[in-house]
Amino acid sequence: MRKALKAATLMGLAAALIVPAAPSAKAADMDMGGTKVTIGGQLRERLEWYANEVGTGTGREVGGTYRARLKIKAELADGVTAVFVPQAVGTWGENMQGVGLDTNGNAVFDMHEAYMLLSNPFGINNVIVKIGRQEVNLGNQRLVGAVGWSQAGRSLDGILVGYVAGDYGLAGFFYGKLNDEASGVGPWLSQGDKDLDIDLYVATWQGKFKPFGIGGTYEITDIYVNPTTAALGVDANINTIYGRVTPAFDTDFAKVKLNLEAAAQTGTAGPNDFSGYFFSVGAGADFTDVAWAPGAFVGYDYYSGDSDDQGDIDSFWSVLPTAHKWLGHADVIWASNIYKFNGKIANRSPGVEDLYLKLHAKPLNRLALGLDLHYFKTAEDYAVGIGVKPANYKGKTSDDVGWESDFSLKYKYSKNLCLSLGWEHFDPDSDFGKTYLGGDDAEDHIWAQADLKF
């Protein structure tokens, strides 16, 4: 019994701190001899309409996308578990009405996850080992995340080793191989480079403040990446050390939450050194004992940038983030050249400042409302019409980006079905639009979604 309890605690902490929640809310169980097989899944349908796109102001017709996942979990003997999550992702109307798949890849069948899980291997208590393709979420996904908004999502091929230190936390090590030579398009947009070779190493210590008498979590993580590919122009090695504390306190009137995060980077890209950094500060409160259970959180994020296009690389690179979660749901910031991710390892960018306010309320038992407001600037001035400033640049500069509002409504139709509605409005500054977006027209993105889990 004690061994079983340790295994349950181990897997529970791993799910909470490193491994994202399973897609199934409830699954069917089958007993196949000595093997327990659990089957669950997810079907997510989304309609989207760009009333006007950022920069150009051009509208689009309503379009639809879908995600269909099936999760098969087989619990075997001696603490061995096998998990398979095949998925199909596509765009409405792009599979020849079901006769065949779209040749442009709009309908994709793949294996989102396929791993084996060993609990207490070789009798070593409090240890788990996951081998294979798996979702990896580090903390709040600032640096590595599964990008849940994306219908395809993100998963990594690798090995995770975790150790639970009682009630205090989880130590984890992850090694991932990021090499997509077969497709020619790797995780950093290799653009057909057949010599793409990237290794990802992660060491993390994560835990909860509960043993210390307060709520919240903490984390310290080190990430090392060594991309070797001619498409980047250089061989690089980048090390990122990241820390986060999110204490929470219960008071007579509300639950008060704090957030402090910071990261620094070292390494080289050809002859240049990396020296980017990031920090985030914020505070908020949830008023659960008043009508509508309102809550508010205000914060400030800073991603360092480069002041010119010469010398060391001072702009912070965010590795494999779930940027949609933090930098506005309109996805304008993370997709622009002011924020470094994916293919922009060795590139320079002016960086991002984000002053934001998040509001939420629950007017009905099944209805939740949310409103996020962002005011964006660049960390360093950019050259208007050019971008990152050339050396000794004397032309017009600016640090204005624009503001964004994200509204969401979620309705729990049943235990398994959630209906959502959202509207994102991004209003760019004229200089920013001219430099990065091809114009300064605002964007309005409206979407509706049905998310069914079983």
Q: What does the domain layout of the chain look like in residue ranges? A: 2-453
The confidence score (pLDDT) of residue 10 equals 46
Helix (H) or strand (E) holding 440: none
**Pairing of the two strands 80-91 and 108-119:** antiparallel
**Tokens 């139709």 sit on residue:** 413
The confidence score (pLDDT) of residue 17 equals 47
The confidence score (pLDDT) of residue 156 equals 93
Query: Could you tell me the two tokens for 356?
Result: 């934001």
Residue 37 CB coordination number (10 Å): 16
**CA 292 to CA 288: how far, in whole Å?**
8
Residue 146 gets which letter from DSSP? -
The answer to whether 391 and 416 have CB atoms below 8 angstroms apart is no
Helix (H) or strand (E) holding 196: none
CA angle centred on 15, ends 369 and 18, rounded to 5° = 90
3-state SS, residue 143: coil
Distances, alpha carbon 226 to alpha carbons 19, 138, 184, 396, in Å: 24, 19, 18, 37
Per residue of the chain (454 residues), what is the pLDDT tens digit?
A: 444 434 444 444 454 444 444 444 456 776 666 789 999 999 999 999 999 999 888 998 899 999 999 999 999 999 999 999 999 999 998 766 555 555 554 567 899 999 999 999 999 999 999 999 999 998 899 999 999 999 999 999 999 999 998 778 889 999 998 765 544 444 444 444 555 678 899 999 999 998 888 999 999 999 999 876 554 556 778 999 999 999 999 999 999 999 999 999 999 887 889 999 999 999 999 998 999 999 999 999 999 999 988 888 999 999 999 999 999 999 999 888 898 876 567 678 999 999 999 999 999 999 999 999 999 999 999 999 999 898 889 999 999 999 999 999 999 999 999 999 999 999 999 999 999 999 999 999 999 999 999 9
| C-alpha neighbours within 13 Å on the C-beta side of residue 265 | 32
The confidence score (pLDDT) of residue 198 equals 81
Query: Could you tell me the two tokens for 320?
Result: 């494999």
Identify which of 44, 39, 7, 209 has the alpha carbon closest to the alpha carbon of residue 118. Answer: 7
3-state SS, residue 230: helix
The residues, ordered by sequence, that sit 6+ positions from 371 with a Cβ below 8 Å of its Cβ are 358, 359, 360, 405, 406, 407, 408
| pTM of structure | 0.89
The confidence score (pLDDT) of residue 359 equals 98
**CATH no. for 2-453:** 2.40.160.100
The residues, ordered by sequence, that sit 6+ positions from 165 with a Cβ below 8 Å of its Cβ are 126, 171, 207
The confidence score (pLDDT) of residue 299 equals 98
The confidence score (pLDDT) of residue 99 equals 57
What's the distance, Cα to Cα, between the start and end of the chain in Å? 29
Strand partners, 395: none
